A = this chain, B = another copy of it.
């Protein structure tokens, strides 16, 4: 029997946002590999071995998944959201590049609902025009790159989505991000803090950049910044489809 690896996106939290494709892969799996809270979302059953592991061991986890598949197991690597957005898909290919024995394995990446799109849907349509997605974690890149990307994105008048805005290990960095955004975009730009979207802990808050405080975000928050046209209508926030040549 030949093994395989799927890297599957579980979406932001709600079962109703897991695609049938991902559910089918989980039904066929012999092994599920992933960060503890994501593996906890998979229903145990006879014949399925769960392999929860810590955060920040993405490469080890990818290697373990590849080794199991090479040994004939049917392995699902679970990610939150979409596996290709700041998640496990890149780590898997890094592991393959480092160990090309695995390049011929049966591998599939199964997309999921990524946090920024779930959050945007709850807020209205703040990403309804050109936008960018930036991972604010500086584990794997220097803050100078983050700053340069923020300034270019602001000058391009992109709406922006920020993943991993804040953690205990770098409490001051998100304050600096907000300062840069205020410099570039002014105090009136709308910003939405979307926490734990689609879970029982969900909360949403839209304020202006002038009102935004670092404490409004934690590691379960995705942050959405509007473009120059983004506005409120009733309880909603949205970016119109039309852009004027005035950025």
On A, residues with C-beta under 8 Å from B are 11, 14-21, 24, 58, 82-87, 89-94, 96-97, 100, 103-104, 107-114, 117-118, 120-122, 124-135, 140-142, 144-145, 148-149, 152-153, 155-158, 231, 233-234, 236, 238-245, 247
Contacts and interface: CB of A to CB of B under 8 A. Distances in A.
Nearest to A87: B128
Closest 7 CB pairs of A and B: A90-B128, A132-B132, A152-B156, A103-B234, A89-B125, A93-B238, A141-B243
Contacts of A113: 19, 111-113
B132 A133 contact: yes
A120 B84 contact: yes
B239 A97 contact: no
A129 B133 CA distance: 9
Given A84-B120, A100-B233, 9 more contacts: A83-B121, A84-B117, A85-B117, A89-B124, A90-B129, A93-B124, A130-B149, A140-B241, A141-B242
Contacts of A120: 84, 109, 111
A113 to B, nearest CB: 5
A86 B94 CA distance: 32
Given A125-B90, A128-B89, A130-B134, A82 B152 contact: no
18 contacts: A17-B21, A19-B113, A82-B121, A86-B129, A90-B239, A90-B240, A93-B238, A97-B233, A103-B233, A107-B236, A114-B117, A132-B133, A132-B153, A141-B242, A144-B245, A145-B245, A148-B156, A149-B157
